[in-house]
Structure 1
Amino acid sequence: MKREDIPPPYTAVSRHGVFPNPRHDEAARFNFLTHLNKYLAGTLGPGNAIAYERRVLPAFAEEHGRAPKDRFEIREAMNRDPYHRFWSALKRNSMEMRQQNGRAMVLRQLDELDAKARQYNEGRDTLELDPSIEVPHYQAQVDIHCMPGSYHGEERPGDVSAGANYDCGIFATTGGGLGALNDGGGQALVEWIRRERPDWTPRRILDVGCTVGHNAVPLAEAFPETEVIAIDTAAPSLRYAHARAQSMGVHNIRFVQANAEDLSRWPDGHFDWVQTTMFLHELSGKALPRIMGELYRVLAPGGLMLHLEQPQYSEDMPLYEQFIRDWDAFNNNEPFWSAMHALDLKTVMLESGFSQDELFTTGVTAVVDEAIFPKSKLGGAEDHGRAAAWHAYGAWKKEPGQ
């Protein structure tokens, strides 16, 4: 492995006011998992394609007299291959280890974390929790990403354990690709909008499925006069998210417990920008179009809808690529991943109310954190392939009469 391919150490994570403090062994475990994830993706991962081309595909063709017709047939065949089984086991175990290390680290200091969060949360009107909001059944039935209790689990009533666990492990999972504050998605949104509409300042932004607010904070910092509303159904994540933002000195975000299937508390056309980041794939087939319809309703004329996701499975995407991208659906507790990525999101957006000429797709890449990946002597930022990248599915809602 070349030196530039080595992931950054876990100590590169920025410490905000409620970030869990790792002991030596906890940081060492996250360092190990950071490198293991890099090795699984960059060194061992390509071996799956070799196994498919050299063993699995020829055997399938001999047995069936044809090539696989879809990603599911490839999956069934690949799941019998020893190399792919070995790689999958390592990848699944790396996620389980990440979750258990983060959870142990958080529970060890939960009293301290809860006390810090209360200092930032109590007496402020920028955190609105609503006990009547239920966690959707399609999320309550699974520990997403193998995270014990998912986003909404509590070790005890009123704690921040789920949010703290989520935040402390993202760096290891992504190898630092989202930056020291795990906010590469939000930073990418800011860079994109500055390039697309340099003079545009939205009055209100709605960030849906905000988890710990890591994508909402950069938006609030970029638009300090804008009211940012960040919503989620998970109270523990919101408690942590609000305390996190407050500890960073970001005060123009209101964290609200709400289900995006019903945004009736906000009137038509209330927001100039509505957006999600890697959220749609965690929605059921019934919830997604309902949420899209509500987002269209609360979006003001002239406003922006933007969804950052992995690319949809299209006829242009090879079946093997669809299969390998589908891994999370069957092995990482992402039950809606496969079906959602097979949808035509443009059609869903059209059915919510947009017209064809309002829609667009683009690519968005996480801003490289130069404290982690410094500039080279030649002056270029060195991301070494570590910066995350997304497909953005968006629309600019027309003004009346356009």
Structure 2
Amino acid sequence: MSKTVPSDQKLDVAPPYNAVARHGVSPQPSHDEIARFDFLANFNKFLSGALGPGNQLAYDKRVLPAFLKENGREPQDRFEIRHAMNDDPFHSFWSALKRNSMEMRQQNGRAMVLRQIDELNAKARQYNEGRDTLELNPEVAVPRYQSAVDIHCMPGSYHGEELSGDVSAGANYDCGIFATTAGGLGALSDGGGQALVDWIKKERPGWQPRRMLDIGTTVGHNIVPLALAFPDTEFIAIDTAAPILRYAHARAQSLGATNIKFIQSNAEDLSRWDDGTFDWVQTTMFLHETSGKALPKIIAEGYRVLADNGLMFHLEQPEYSDAMPLFEQFLRDWDAFNNNEPFWSSMHALDMKDEMVKAGFDRDELFETGVRAVVDREIFPEAPTGEDEDHGRAAFWHAYGAWKNADQMQEAAE
């Protein structure tokens, strides 16, 4: 006998993968591939929602009492908690499931893309060839901090190529975001970019930046909404990986964002651009994929090319401040040790305000805020709305920003 769910009780399920919007270079899924992504999206919601709180119970009921008994004190940092939690059977089980969910996401996306790789490459060429808005440079080396591991367990990471002129890395990344975020970024996985549009329109109504620089653009999903919202602005989107850029450019062109130029370049050296070239310098969940040596160079170069009264804006997750409980730090650190993101832990342990001051900002120019993903609620009514969803990675970001010399500009105008 089937059970009817009462109308006042909503099932905590992810939106269906067949509701994902298609663009000009979208991989076309089969029935089975749709089913696998639907399973993985809901599996991730289950891991973060139903099973996730079990980690806190395991810590409170077993791990912490055992640690206190053995050491006579509380854990001193997130690393001691991690070592203790790794021996707990529940956390080991949860962690293994979470790792497997990422591997299965990559396997499904990659199999879907490779099945139609020739067709996808051909579609991308139609948008890419003969356009001056895509500039690739084979002399740009992929940094070791991105080539040494398959980031996010993605085979070949961002730069892997199967064929000459390949876009498979970008296609795999694009189609798999749905499963990782359980649909929390909307039909085009551009909820972060849509959130940026909402934020800047409210923060500075009527502002019209001349040029914007998007660093670490990947498939351009966060920059396209901004380019469409500011059609008179010149957008420059850079990345070191050619396959990602080929896909990103074709994707943007097919969506009508023709005012973005995608350039293969390393943000540690922006010498091709003069001081004060850009009114907005942006990164979105990128800095945690750079090394401790590269990050300050990137911020310093961003400061140099940022014009007076210009905006620098970095979307990441909150830093591990003294106000954040050690157990929360431990949970947020999971990606560093289990999801091939080796710089996640050290980056979030930085004081981003100090890093921006070292780059040249005055401390009183800095600000922090939060940005929540904006999605189409008619298509994705159950998309995550709180920072607690998957430890905040799917729908909410912490922002570190600064307006360069804005007060001085205002004083001069007065």
Structure 1's consecutive aligned runs of 4 or more residues displaced over 2 angstroms after TM superposition are 1-4, 371-374, 381-387, 399-402
The normalised TM-score by structure 1 is 0.97
Does the C-alpha gap of structure 1 residues 382 and 47 become closer, same or farther in structure 2, counting only changes over 3 Å? closer
Identical pairs, percent: 74
Distance 1:371 1:141 in 2: 41
State the SS of the aligned residue for 2:48. helix
Matched, 1:255 2:294: no
State the SS of the aligned residue for 1:149. coil
Native 8 Å contact 2:133 2:262 kept in 1:
yes
Matched to 1:43, the amino acid is A
Distance 1:61 1:40 in 2: 28
Distance 2:175 2:263 in 1: 22
Q: Match of 1:364?
A: 371
Matched to 2:271, the amino acid is S
Distance 2:322 2:11 in 1: 36
The normalised TM-score by structure 2 is 0.94
List aligned pairs for 1:4-19, cutoff 5 A.
4-19=11-26
Alignment RMSD: 1.3
Matched to 2:316, the amino acid is E
Matched, 1:271 2:278: yes
Q: Match of 1:93?
A: 100
1:249 deviates by: 1.5
Deviates more, 1:387-396 or 1:338-347: 387-396
Matched to 2:111, the amino acid is A
State the SS of the aligned residue for 1:19. coil
Matched, 1:341 2:340: no
Distance 1:382 1:364 in 2: 15
**Aligned equivalent of 1:284, options 279, 286, 291:** 291
Matched, 1:312 2:323: no
Residue deviations 1:147-172 (CA, integer Å, cap 9, x gap): 00001111122100100000011011
Distance 2:148 2:384 in 1: 37
Q: Match of 1:112?
A: 119
Q: Match of 1:242?
A: 249
**Aligned equivalent of 1:43, options 50, 61, 67:** 50
Matched to 2:199, the amino acid is W
Q: Match of 2:207?
A: 200
1:57 deviates by: 0.1
* Matched positions, count: 396
Residue deviations 1:73-102 (CA, integer Å, cap 9, x gap): 000000000000000000000000000110
Matched, 1:74 2:86: no
Matched to 2:20, the amino acid is V
Q: Match of 2:232?
A: 225
Matched to 2:171, the amino acid is A
Does the C-alpha gap of structure 1 residues 383 and 325 become closer, same or farther in structure 2, counting only changes over 3 Å? closer
Native 8 Å contact 1:176 1:372 kept in 2:
no
Residue deviations 1:357-401 (CA, integer Å, cap 9, x gap): 100000110113223234xxxxxx975546600100000001556
Matched to 1:209, the amino acid is G
1:117 deviates by: 0.2
List aligned pairs for 1:125-144, cutoff 5 A.
125-144=132-151
State the SS of the aligned residue for 2:106. helix
State the SS of the aligned residue for 2:132. coil
1:4 deviates by: 4.4
Gaps of 5+ in 1: 375-380
Gaps of 5+ in 2: none
State the SS of the aligned residue for 2:313. strand
Distance 1:42 1:69 in 2: 28
